[in-house]
Amino acid sequence: MTARRAPAAYWTGFAVVLVLLALAPLVLPEFWRRFVTEILIWGLLAMSSDILIGYTGMVSFGHSVFFGLGMYGAAAALLSVKPPNLWLALLYGLVAAAAVAAFVAYFATRLRDIYFAITTLVFSQIFYVIIFTWTEFTGGENGLTFAQPPLSIPGLWAGRFTPETLHWFVLAVVTISYLLLRRITQSPFGMVLQSIRENEPRTRAIGYAVERYKIVAVMLSGLFAGLAGILYAVQNKFAAPDFVFFLVSGEVVIFNVMGGMGTLVGPVAGAAFFLLLREGVSRYFTEYYLIPVGIIFTAMVIFMPQGLLGFAKRRLNE
């Protein structure tokens, strides 16, 4: 917070990465272009969960719910309103994710540590069962498919999504979200969250309403996870119950651990690392890629709890 020299280095790095990511779709072949866009979306989901895991010290095993509700919310907007509208999809998705996040937050934040993790997991299973069995409304096992909405920014741009514009749109949303999340973690509110992580009883003793802060943290986190879900829905033109399933939540936790909790950028790097690892390992292990990846993950938990970017934690938070 005090050093004035570091932020300059930080912002330079930030600009370089941003420019590289913006140029990526122009130089990369089709497969890798899509890959980078996906990394950004999963990275946003991972960042959203970092607010809880890294900054507040609560491990959420239920982020798939927020992500999935974002998807289904977007699907509802795109299927019910003609012509399909991107901004309406964003609105519906965010409202759906926020509603679920409020519900989960209210119950789950009454518990700490492991109990919180289990409760979020159980909630994600509840919503999975509901979405899976409520076939008339959610399409059940098959999910919902819909047309991609056009990209229309009033007064600026109107047209269909191309792979490039989709990538830039996702990049813009993820960058704005990152800056917002970074600002939030550095705000007095974010400081309270970090003090909850460090010492909850003391934070309470100082006079902060810890429960309220936790509820807001879970809701914020859910909101950004829902945003990631909306982006994924727009990219892939479907919403499926698989994405509400607990496995997605598990992957989000893996992203965080691999990349480095409490850095915001780390989880994005973790998502990239995981997806690349999966891509590489799948060549040899096909669908059993989780065997080596799981072993690497467990080893990282034991030997490298800071993750890939943990060494830069101080700098990234300056």
Partner 1 sequence: MDPAQLAAGALAVAIPVDQILIQTVNGLVNGMILALVASGLTLIFGIMDVVNFAHGDLVMLGGFTGAVTIAATGNFWLALLVASLVIAVFGAALQATTLRPLLGRDPLTTILATFGMSLVLQKYAIWQWGPSARKIQEPLTGQFQLFYLEYPWYRILTAVLSAAIIGSFWLFLRYGKYGVWIRATTQDRIMASAMGIPVPWVHTGVFAIGAGMAAASGVLFGPLGGVTQNMGLDFTLRAFIVVVVGGMGNLGGSIFASIFISLLEAYASLIVSPAQAVIVSFVVLILTLLFRPTGLFVPTPK
Q: Which two tokens stand for residue 245?
A: 């399933």
**Smallest separation (angstroms) from partner 1 to the CB of 309:** 17
> Least distance to partner 1 from the beta carbon of 18, Å?
31
Q: Cα(62)–Cα(127) distance, rounded to whole angstroms?
A: 10
For residues 30 and 287, which CB has a smaller minimum distance to partner 1 in the complex? 287
| Residue 303: CB minimum distance to partner 1, A | 8
Residue 67 or 274 having the CB closest to partner 1: 274
CB of 169: closest distance to partner 1 in angstroms? 33
Query: Which phi and psi (to 5°) does residue 83 adopt?
Result: -75, 155
Least CB distance to partner 1 at residue 99 (A): 17
Which lies closer to partner 1 via its Cβ, residue 107 or residue 311? 107
As measured in angstroms, the least distance from the Cβ of 291 to partner 1 is 5
In the complex, least distance from residue 308 CB atom to partner 1, rounded to whole angstroms? 15
Q: Which is nearer to partner 1, 145 or 282 (CB)?
A: 282
For the chain, the C-alpha Rg in angstroms (whole number) is 19
CB of 24 or CB of 104, closer to partner 1: 104
Applying CB under 8 A, which residues contact partner 1? 57, 59, 107, 110-111, 113-115, 117-119, 121-123, 125-126, 129-130, 132-133, 246, 250, 253-254, 257, 287-288, 290-291, 293-295, 297-298, 301-302, 305
Region of 268 on the Ramachandran plot (φ > 0 left; ψ -120 to 50 alpha; else beta):
alpha
In order of 174, 197, 238, the CA distances from 231 in angstroms are: 10, 30, 11
Query: Exposed, middle or buried by CB within 10 Å (0-12, 13-18, 19+), for 16?
Result: exposed
Query: What kind and span of H or E run contains 145?
Result: strand 144-145
Spatial distance between the Cα atoms of 185 and 216, rounded to a whole number of angstroms: 13
Nearer of residues 112 and 315 to partner 1, judged by Cβ: 112
Our CB check for partner 1 shows the closer of 75 and 258 to be 258
What single string gives the DSSP state of each residue in 180-227? HHHHHHHSHHHHHHHHHHH-HHHHHHHT--HHHHHHHHHHHHHHHHHH
